[in-house]
A and B are shown apart, each in its own frame.
Chain A
Amino acid sequence: MSVLGGSFLGEVVAWFADPVNWQGPDGVIARLREHLEITGLTVVIAAVIALPVGLWLGHIGRGGALATGISYSGRAAPTYAVLVLLAISPAPFGNNQTSTVTALVLFALSPILTNAYVGIRGVDPDAVDAARGMGLSGWQVLRRVELPLAAPLVISGLRLATTQVIATATIAALVAGGGLGRIITAGFGRQDDVELFAGAVLVAVLALAAELVLGWLQRASARQARPDLSATRRRKDAADAAAEPLTVS
C-alpha cells in the first residue's frame, strides 16, 4: 500500500524539509510558539491556584475525599465537550482565548492538587513529629520538612498537568484555539494526509519531549529529597506513591 510505503513517509519528510511550512503565521515555528505560550500560561495559573490548596490540605490532613473526587472528575470530564461548552457560552467566554485558557486551567488543576496532597500526606510522620519536637511552627514544618520531602510528587503533578495541557491545547484547535493542533485541523480541512500526519508528529514529539524533560527534573528532585536512598528504591517509592493513575486526553 502506498500509504504505508516509502512514498507516504517520503512525502512527510519532504513536508518537514520544506521551509515554507516552517514560516509565516501558520508555520510550525509560530504554531509551536502559540502551543508553548498557552501551555506555560495555563500551567502557571493552575499551579498558583492548586498548589497552595493541595499543600495546605495535605498539611492539615483533611480533604482526602475532595482530592479523590477532583482526580476522578478530571478523568471523567470530556475535554472536547468542556471546550465547546465554554466556546458557546456568553461573555467573557465565547469563541475566544479566555475560553481556551479557562478549560485548560480546569484540567490542569486536578493532577497538581492531587499530587501535592498525596505528596504531603506521604511524608514520614516521624520526620514531622521530630520537627515539631524541635519547636518548629506549622508553617515552618510545611516549608522546611514536608515540602522538600514531597517535592518529587509535587513535580510529578506539574509534569502530568503539563502533558495534559499540551494534549488539551491540541483538542482546543478543533474549537477555538491556536497551537500545533491547527496544523492537524488544516490538514483535515484540505484533505491533506501528509500535512495532518506531520502535525500529529509535531504534537507527539512536543508531548514526549515535555514528559522527558520534566521526568528528568522529577528524578533530580527525588535525588535531592532522599540522597540516602538508591535510585531503584526511589523509583519504587515514586511508583508506589503515584497519585494519579494515568489520565489521557
Chain B
Amino acid sequence: MLGGVIHTQTVSQSCIARNEWVCWDYVVSRQSDLTEAFWEHLTITVVAVALGVAVALPLAVLARRSRLFSGSVASTATLIYTIPSVALFSLLFPIAKLSATTVIIGLALYSLAILLRNTLDGLASVAPDAVDAGRGMGYSNWRLLLAVELPLALPAILAGVRIATVSTVALVTVGTLVGFGGFGDIIKRGFSGNFRPEVLTATVATVILALILDALLLALQRATTPWLRERSS
C-alpha cells in the first residue's frame, strides 16, 4: 500500500529511474509480471522433476535386476547430463517448438539422469538382512519392494530429488531460449533494456525459489525417515 503511494508520487526520482540494482519500487510496480514468472517457473520445475521421478523409479527397479541393463542405464544417464542445456533444448526444438514442453522434456531428462543414479545407489545399499527378514515373513517380491526396499532407499532417492530440484530451478532460466524461462524471461527482458533492478530481482527470486523448495524437500525427507533422526540423536 505504502509502496504504491511512493510509486505514483515520485516515479521520476525513484530508484527505477536511477536504474539502481536494489529497488523495491520495481518489485511493487511489476508485481504481476513477477507473480506470473514465479508460477511459470514453479510449474515447469515441479512438472519436470515429477516426470523425472515417474520414469526413474520404475526404470531403476527394472534395471537393477541385470548388471548389464543397470550399467547401460547409468551410461545413458551420463550421456544425457553431459549435453549442455542450450543444446538439449535446441535438439528438442524441432519436435516441440516454442513451447513449455521443450523446456519441460529437457529438464525432465536431466532430473531422470540424476534420479536414476541415486535410486540405483539407494536400492543397492539396502541391507541384505532386511531383505532376508522380509522374505522370511513371506513377503512377495512386490511387497518386499514397497514395504522394505523402497522405504530403506528413500533417503538416497530424496537426496536425488533435492539435487534435481535445485539444479532444475537454476536451469529453467535457460528456457528463455524458447520463450518459457520463468524468471529467465524477466532476466532476458532486463538485459535487453539494460534494466538492473529487473535482472537482480529475478535472479534473487530464482535463488530463493531453489532454497525454499530445497528446504521443503528436506522437511519431507526428515518426516518420511524418522528412523534416521532417532539414530543420530
Contacts and interface: CB of A to CB of B under 8 A. Distances in A.
A101 interface: no
B86 A181 contact: yes
Nearest to B118: A245
Nearest to B89: A200
A22 to B, nearest CB: 19
Interface in A157-174: 163, 166-168, 170-171, 173-174
B208 to A, nearest CB: 10
B191 A197 contact: no
Interface string B69-109: 00000000011011111111011011100000000000000
A4 B95 contact: yes
Given A76-B170, A246-B114, A248-B110, A207 B163 contact: no
A168 B174 CA distance: 10
A197 B84 contact: no
Interface string B160-181: 0001001101110110110001
B117 interface: yes
B123 interface: no
Contacts of B203: 78, 81-82, 84-85
Interface residues of A, number: 45
Contact of B167 (A75, A166, A168): A75
Interface string B177-220: 10001011001101100101001101100110011001000000
B53 interface: no
Contacts of A201: 87, 91
B113 interface: yes
B84 A249 contact: yes
Contact of A204 (B83, B95, B114, B207): B83
Interface string A171-208: 10111000001001001100001001101110110011
B86 A200 contact: yes
Contacts of A203: 83-84, 86-87
Contacts of B176: 80, 174
Contacts of B199: 81, 84-85, 88
A81 B173 contact: yes
Nearest to A168: B84
B93 A193 contact: yes
Contacts of A181: 86
Given A88-B196, A204-B91, A246 B163 contact: yes
29 contacts: A3-B95, A76-B167, A76-B170, A76-B211, A78-B173, A80-B184, A81-B199, A81-B202, A81-B203, A81-B206, A84-B188, A84-B203, A85-B199, A85-B203, A87-B191, A88-B199, A167-B86, A171-B86, A181-B86, A187-B90, A197-B94, A200-B93, A208-B82, A211-B82, A246-B81, A248-B81, A248-B167, A249-B170, A249-B171
Interface of A: 3-4, 8, 72, 75-82, 84-85, 87-88, 163, 166-168, 170-171, 173-175, 181, 184, 187-188, 193, 196-197, 199-201, 203-204, 207-208, 211, 245-249
Interface of B: 78-79, 81-88, 90-91, 93-95, 110, 113-114, 117-118, 159, 163, 166-167, 169-171, 173-174, 176-177, 181, 183-184, 187-188, 190-191, 194, 196, 199-200, 202-203, 206-207, 210-211, 214
